[in-house]
Structure 1
Amino acid sequence: MLHEVNFLSFNKRDEVQGWIYVPAVKPKGIVQIIHGFGEHSRRYLHMIVKFMDAGYIVAADDHVGHGKTAMDSGIWGDWGDAGFHTMMEDEHTLKKLVCEKYPDLPYFLFGHSMGSFIARDYAAAYGDDLAGVTICGTTGTFRGASEAAVLLKKAVDEGLGKDSNAEFTGALMGWMCERCDDVTIGNEWICADPYVQRDHAEDPFDAFTKPTSNRSLYDFTQMMEAIKGTEWAEKVPKSLPVYNIGGDQDPVGEYGKGIYEVSNWLWDTGHRVTTKVYSGYRHEIHNYAAIKDEVEAGIIEFMDGVLED
């Protein structure tokens, strides 16, 4: 069964488009998938089907400025002016809609890349409502984010928030193909598979070729600043289990260093965290043909384990 849902964004401008995928079995829990920067939730169909086959209802939406939400609004790469919590609050709204239809089921989050940042922000604000969180392709201290934030804040303060400056995007993310050979598209850092690269670049629902506004890019840096250090980890309920996964050739996770940085912040503040790093793989571990089944099975094992506790 499939439900299509929509709701007014926290930014009071956009109608967020979302979906609830329901398996044809008695569900044992719910997983909300939170997609990353510049992509959309249907890039996770393989994972959605695996979660459904395992007995989970799956919820997902397309963020403001992204995917079907941007297709309908005509506004790409601009997240509104309500601040960096916008996407997190939208995910909270989606959860409430899902729970109205399917109450009293354990609720999990899976967030990839920027989606993991949102999931971590969510865990700090509403973690008591969750049974567990999987963060995939996350960041510790993102290289250059603090420096880029200064430049972006200056541009926003000068009235250039709705403009887009490629120099700012380059300063923040232009280094991410540094370990990739034969760079021709610019997204090779996501996955070594050229078919995945082309699919990502040519997908009309992806924002890969569309600019991001200075204000939204500034909000992106503030999102990362808000989930740094033990100061963030202290806000996450200690009873909330966390599964932290990624590839050791992922620049977002600083090639493994940032992944362990996040796990150590959680461990140092008394949390239950399990960490798995896949050696030799880049950002989208769930899109590698060789390991995506293993990655998804690990997430399901984590969730099933929480339900068995």
Structure 2
Amino acid sequence: MLHEVSFTSYNERDQVQGWIYVPACKPNGIVQLIHGFGEHSRRYIHMISAFLDAGYIVAADDHVGHGKTAMVNNVWGDWGDKGCHTMMEDEHTLKKIVCEKYPNLPYFLFGHSMGSFITRDFIAKYGNELNGATICGTTGIFRGAKEVKEKLKEIIDAGHGEESDPNIVSSLMGWMCERCGEISIGNEWICHDPYVQSDHAQDPFDAFTRPTSNRSIYDFIQMMLVIEGTQWAKKVPTKLPIYNIAGDQDPVGEYGLGVCQVSNWLVETGHHVTTKLYSGYRHEIHNYAEIKNEVEAGIIEFMNSNL
């Protein structure tokens, strides 16, 4: 069964487009999938299918400025003016919709990349509502983010928040292919596989190759800053199990160092966290043909153990 849902965003401007995939069996629980920057939720169809086969209802949406939500609202690359918690609050709205339809089931989050930032923000505020959370391809202290934030504040204060400055995006993310050898597209950091790179770049639902407003890039950086350090980890319920996974050649996680940094913040504040680094792999570990089944099986095992 498939439910298509639409709801008003926290930004009070957009109608967020979402889906609830239901297996043809008695469900074990629910997992809400939260996609990353510039992409959309149907890039995870292989993972969604694996979760369904394991007996989980899967909820997902396309963030404001992304995917079908951007198409329906005709607004690409701008996330509204309500600040860095907008997408997190939208995910909580989706959770409420799902729980109204399917109450009293164990509930998990899976968030990749920016989706992991949203997940970490979510568990700091609403973690008591969950049975567990998987963060995939997350960041510790993102290189250069604070410096770019200061430049952006000057630009926004000067009245250019709704414009897009490609130099700003380059300053924030331009270094991320530093270990990728020859560069032709600019997204080689996501995966070694040229087909995955090409599919990502040419996807008409992807916002990655479209301009993102200065205000939204500022909010993107703020997303990372509000989930830094033990001051963030202390807000997360200590009883909430967390599974932290990434490739050790992922620049978002500073090649494993930032990933372990996040786990250490959690451990230092009394949390139970399991960390797994996939050696030799870049950002989208779930899109490597040789390991995606293993990645999905690990997430399912984590959820099954915390039902």
**d(CA) in 2 for partners of 1:6, 1:91:** 12
Instruction: Name the structure 2 match of 1:195.
Output: 195
TM-score (norm 2): 1.00
Give aligned-pair identity as a percent: 74
Amino acid at match of 2:187: N
Residue segments in structure 2 that go unaligned for 5+ positions in a row: none
Residue segments in structure 1 that go unaligned for 5+ positions in a row: none
Deviations 1:65-105 (A, max 9, x none): 00000011111000000000000000000000000000000
Instruction: Name the structure 2 match of 1:292.
Output: 292
**d(CA) in 2 for partners of 1:222, 1:260:** 21
Deviations 1:240-267 (A, max 9, x none): 0000000000000000000000000000
**d(CA) in 2 for partners of 1:155, 1:127:** 35
Instruction: Name the structure 2 match of 1:149.
Output: 149
Deviations 1:7-64 (A, max 9, x none): 0000000000000000000001000000000000000000000000000000000000
Structure-to-structure mapping, 1:32-111, within 5 angstroms: 32-111=32-111
Structure-to-structure mapping, 1:217-256, within 5 angstroms: 217-256=217-256
Amino acid at match of 1:306: N
Structure-to-structure mapping, 1:179-194, within 5 angstroms: 179-194=179-194
3-state SS, counterpart of residue 30 of structure 1 = strand
Runs of 4+ in structure 1 deviating by more than 4 angstroms, as ranges, are: none
Amino acid at match of 1:298: G
Deviation at 1:213, TM superposition (A): 0.2
Amino acid at match of 1:68: K
Instruction: Name the structure 2 match of 1:28.
Output: 28
Amino acid at match of 2:239: S
TM-score (norm 1): 0.99
Instruction: Name the structure 1 match of 2:176.
Output: 176
**d(CA) in 1 for partners of 2:53, 2:146:** 42
Deviations 1:85-140 (A, max 9, x none): 00000000000000000000010000000000000000001000000000000000
Deviation at 1:182, TM superposition (A): 1.6
3-state SS, counterpart of residue 31 of structure 1 = strand
Deviation at 1:208, TM superposition (A): 2.0
| Structure 1 position 159 matched with structure 2 position 159 | yes
Amino acid at match of 1:207: A
3-state SS, counterpart of residue 121 of structure 2 = helix
Instruction: Name the structure 2 match of 1:138.
Output: 138
Deviation at 1:181, TM superposition (A): 1.4
Deviation at 1:302, TM superposition (A): 0.3
Query: What CA RMSD, in Å, does the superposition of the two structures yield over aligned residues?
Result: 0.4
